[in-house]
Every structure is written in structure tokens, then in C-alpha cells.
A and B are shown apart, each in its own frame.
Chain A
Amino acid sequence: MDDITVVLADDHEIWRNGVRADLGDGFEVVGEAGTAEDAIAVIRTTRPGLVVCDLHMPGGGIQVVKACADETKVVMLTVSEAERDLLDAVAAGAIGYLVKSTPPDELRTALMRAARGEPVFSPELAALVLGEFRQLAKAAGPVQPLTEREREVLQLVARGHTYREIAGQLHIAEKTVENHVRNILGKLHLNRKQELIRYALEHGIE
């Protein structure tokens, strides 16, 4: 199998060096950037299979997601565990998010999966998304609620179960678990969009 081409976007060079060293075989770093603007330019020219992007880099990691999520897979890396802009990043189309303290072997596995298009959903992110849907359920207005099964899957992810374990517990295929997670992301995306549209209508913005 060909190496996965990667662009690393983070304003700390030492961090990029660390991640590059951790990636090892199977990955080829084709570009690096220290700002969102540079990252977008580098991604446009190198067309990587995967972008590993810091959430808090100058210019904002979210800008990178917004600009490039359609062309490539973007994984957010951050030191924070419970932040609003993380949800925004995922809602904007990031395929996943990992905390920077993720051990190297876990990081490699997660990035491999992300490059294949599987959502990388850490327990922290699952917990945030669950909280978001609880909020949405309380607020009035048209929302796409989670199905009971989706909620169940998401809660198991938040509690630290792997997709394989979840598949075993719910007696479903691992692919089905992945599909559930993908659908959850889709609903999150959609709800965010509806929220924006509703806000715009209510405030007379066209």
C-alpha cells in the first residue's frame, strides 16, 4: 500500500518534528505550515490524503477545516479537552479530533483510520457531541435528534469503548458502528446549519 501523504499544520516546529517522528512508516509528510493561511496554500499545492491540524494555530485551525474539508480529510489536534470551538471544527467538517497527549501508537492507528475516511472519535469528543444534542433537545426549533441506537453508540464511545467492543456489545458489525458515528456527525453538521439559518432569519440577515 502507498504511504499516506500528510500535511502537518502547527505553529510549533518542535511539535511538528515530534509528530513526524511518531508517524514513522506508512506516512509521508509532504508539507508543513505554521499558520492557517500557509496551511491552506500548502494543502492546495500538495493535495495530501490527510491533514493534521492544530486547533489553536495562528489564523485558527477551523479556517483550515472550512477551506479544505471537501478536498481532504482533516484531523484536529489540540491540548484542550472540552472546548466549544472543537465542536465547531467537527461541525465544519473535520473528520476527527485527538488530544495531543494521545500515545504515539494510538495516534498512528487513529490517523490511519482517518485517512481511510473513518471518523476518529475520541471519548472526549463523543462526550461533547452528546452534550450538544442534549442542549439541542432542550431548545425549541427543528432539530435532528439522535436515534436511541445512535445515542447508545455515542455514549459507549464516550465511556472509552472501541468500535470493536461496541460492535460486540450491541451485536452489530463494526462497519455499522462506523456508519452510526458518521450519521451522528452528519446530524451535528446539519443541526449547526439549521441553527445558523434560523438565526439569520430571526435577525433579518439575508
Chain B
Amino acid sequence: MKRGILQGIGLLRWLALAMLVVTVLVTRHSLSRPGLALGVAAAALAVTVVATWRYRKDPLRLLTPPTVVVELLVGAGISLADGWTYKPGHAFSSAQSLGGAWPLAGVLTAGVAWGPVGGGVAGLVIGGARAGADFANGVSPSHVGASQVTSMVTTTALYVIAGAVVGRVAVLLDRSERTISAARARDQIARTLHDGVLQTLAIVERGTDDPALARLAREQERSLREFLFGVPDVFAGDTVPDRAGGQVGTCAIAFRRAAGRFETAFGGKVSVIVAGDVPPLTPDVTAALAGAVGEALTNAGKHGEARHVTVYMEPDADKGAFCSIKDDGSGFDPRDTPEGFGITSSIRARIAEVGGRVEIESVPGAGTDVRIWVDRSTRG
């Protein structure tokens, strides 16, 4: 993607060069040193040709420090030359001068190479050179009025902003490029591991008579899935949003962790199903949900002796989420079971804190069904 920006700058270089040549022709009557003007044009042409040639060979070679410095220095020289090329008084006369556009290419290249700060500094260099040219053109410091100062400051500021903005864009592009290639690498790994390792783990889990080995296989399968489908990215050091683009991943991960703890502690099985289009939830809501799911699972294992629990989550009324935890355990009568009351009140408290709603249905002999509704954001 950097190549795209560099290609654009390359085009700018040629256009600015054309403009420079036109400017020489148009302003030929105000030139005091036509020879210098031709020299300036020749220098710009030389750098433009070399830059184009280097771009053809390998665009990124335009970003090596010596190349950037040379282009910037030539640009500064061209800007500064304006002070001697023209007859005194040309500066601030609102007439075109040679050093206007072409040096901008150097500022932009510096931004791409060195980021916003480098681009800004490069802008400052060119802006400074222009101000120098203005003084050399015959404006002595004592004659500089407010309007001249404003003009110089504005011009310099524009160069600085241009360099900084391009630098910022380059940094952002770089980052998204890395994210994308990391996601691609992950996809490829996922595809490869999917039919190989996950398959083998499933075979082991099914084929073995050793419950410890089966549990190990299931734990490995779980951590592999976690690695493949929505964990902080180990390749780019960044968090890649999952398919929904939200932080559904964090809820799904938290639920799966709780499921893993349940399976290790009680030996049953938990199915975690989180729809791909659950809206992003705030960290508070996510934490409250994860806590509530953990409590519900503990309850199912400890008091209900459940063998199979299903944790399900889907978007609700396009502003929040619905979550249910359903087990096949023994259930309890909420009215006369103290531990059932304890657990349910703790789930209710967690969810109430983030402005959500809880319904718990438990029938002795028919398992427990916990239903939770939350809004995307907290109440406060």
C-alpha cells in the first residue's frame, strides 16, 4: 500500500516539474538570473528522473534515508534559490515562483519514510527555506510586516501539515496491512490445522477408553480452537477483530474458558454457541456476563450434577444481547433450596449491576435454565 502512495508522489513529482517549467516561461520577465532558473529546473528534472528510475526497480528504495535526505535538500535548495532567481520584490507579490510545488514531493516522501514527526520536520525545512528565500529576495527583517509574517507562517504550516498527515496515513496503512496479512496467515494456518489436528483430536477423544486421555484431547482441542478463532493476534501483536468485527470474541472466549473449567472440574460437556452478529458489548457488560455464566456453570456442576450444558448467546432487539445457560442436571426448587438461592442471587446481582435482566427457571428433575438480557452499554 506504501507503493501506492509512492506512485502518487511520483506522479506529483512530474506534474510539479511541468508546473516548474511553465512557471519559468511565464515569469521569464521577472527573472534576474535566468541561468540559475534553468539550473533549478535541471536539478528538479534530474531528481525526478532518478526517483522514477529507482521506483521502477524497487519502490521501497526511495525510502532509504540518503535518498530522502537528498531529495529534501534539493527541494530546500530550489525553494531557497527563489531568493536569487527573481528580481528583488518578487516575493509576496502573489506571482508564481519556481520553488512552490516541487519540493512538496520531498516532504511527502519524508512523511512516508519517517512517519508524522519526520514528515512534519521535513515540512519545516522546506517552509524555512522558503522564508529564507523571501528574506534574500530583498525583504529585510525590519521591513517585514504582519501580512508577510502571516504568509510565511501559513506556507510553512501547510508544508508541515502535509508532511505530518501523509506520515500518519502511511503509519495507519502500514498497520492495517500488517493486520490483514496476519489475518491471512491465520486463515491459512486454521485451514491446515482444521482438517488435520482438530480431526485427529476428535478421533482420539472418540476412540480412546481412557477418560484422562479423552479429557486431554478435549482440552487441547479447546485451546487450539481458541488460538485459531479469535484470540489476541500473536503475529502482529495486535488484536484482530473476529468475523463480526466486534468484541464478540471476548465474550465467546470468556465463555469457553468457563466451559473448560467446568469440564475439568466436573467432567461433563459444555457447548458454547455465540452468534456471529452479537453487537459489541462494553467491557463491564462482558465481564458481568462472563461472571454470571461461570456461576451458572458452577451451580450446574456442583449442585445439579449436570452432564451437558449449553451456553447460547444471540443479539437481542438490535441494541443488546440475550444469553442462556441450560443444563440437564437435577434442577432445584428456588423457593426452598438455600444454595440455589445463593447462586441465583449472585447471578442476579452481577447482571443488575450493568442494568440487565435475569430469569431463572429450575424444575427438580428437569435441569435449570438461566436467561439473561443485557444492553450494550452500562446504565451509567
Which residue of the partner chain A has the closest CB to B328?
A160
CB-CB under 8 A from B198, the residues of chain A are 79-80
Which residue of the partner chain B has the closest CB to A126?
B273
Task: State whether the Cβ of B206 lies closer than 8 Å to any Cβ in chain A.
Answer: yes
Digit string of A135-146 for contact with B (CB within 8 Å is 1, else 0)?
Answer: 100000000000
Report yes or no: B206 in contact with A158, Cβ–Cβ below 8 A.
Answer: no
CB-CB under 8 A from A100, the residues of chain B are 199, 202, 206
Task: State in angstroms the CA–CA spacing of A81 and B309 once bound together.
Answer: 16
Task: State in angstroms the CA–CA spacing of A159 and B326 once bound together.
Answer: 7
Digit string of B258-281 for contact with A (CB within 8 Å is 1, else 0)?
Answer: 000000000001010101110000
Task: State whether the Cβ of B30 lies closer than 8 Å to any Cβ in chain A.
Answer: no
CB-CB under 8 A from A155, the residues of chain B are 314
Q: A127-B312, A160-B326 are in contact. Are A101 and B275 (CB under 8 A)?
A: no
| A contact set with B: CB distance below 8 Å | 12, 14-15, 18, 22, 56, 79-82, 100-101, 103-104, 123-124, 127, 130-131, 134-135, 155, 158-161, 165
A-B contact count (CB 8 A): 71
Report yes or no: B310 in contact with A159, Cβ–Cβ below 8 A.
Answer: yes
Report yes or no: A127 in contact with B324, Cβ–Cβ below 8 A.
Answer: no
10 smallest A-B Cβ distances: which pairs?
Answer: A160-B310, A100-B202, A160-B326, A159-B312, A79-B198, A127-B273, A159-B324, A18-B207, A131-B275, A18-B206
Digit string of B137-176 for contact with A (CB within 8 Å is 1, else 0)?
Answer: 0000000000000000000000000000000000000000
Report yes or no: A103 in contact with B269, Cβ–Cβ below 8 A.
Answer: yes
Task: State in angstroms the CA–CA spacing of A82 and B190 once bound together.
Answer: 13
Closest Cβ of chain B to A129, distance in Å, is 11
CB-CB under 8 A from B210, the residues of chain A are none
23 contacts between A and B (CB under 8 A): A12-B203, A14-B203, A15-B202, A56-B195, A79-B198, A79-B202, A80-B194, A104-B206, A123-B312, A124-B271, A127-B275, A127-B312, A127-B314, A135-B277, A158-B312, A159-B310, A159-B324, A159-B326, A159-B369, A160-B310, A160-B324, A160-B326, A165-B366
Task: State whether the Cβ of B350 lies closer than 8 Å to any Cβ in chain A.
Answer: no
Report yes or no: B206 in contact with A134, Cβ–Cβ below 8 A.
Answer: no
Task: State whether the Cβ of B315 lies closer than 8 Å to any Cβ in chain A.
Answer: yes
CB-CB under 8 A from B205, the residues of chain A are 101
Report yes or no: A160 in contact with B312, Cβ–Cβ below 8 A.
Answer: yes
Task: State in angstroms the CA–CA spacing of A120 and B40 once bound together.
Answer: 79
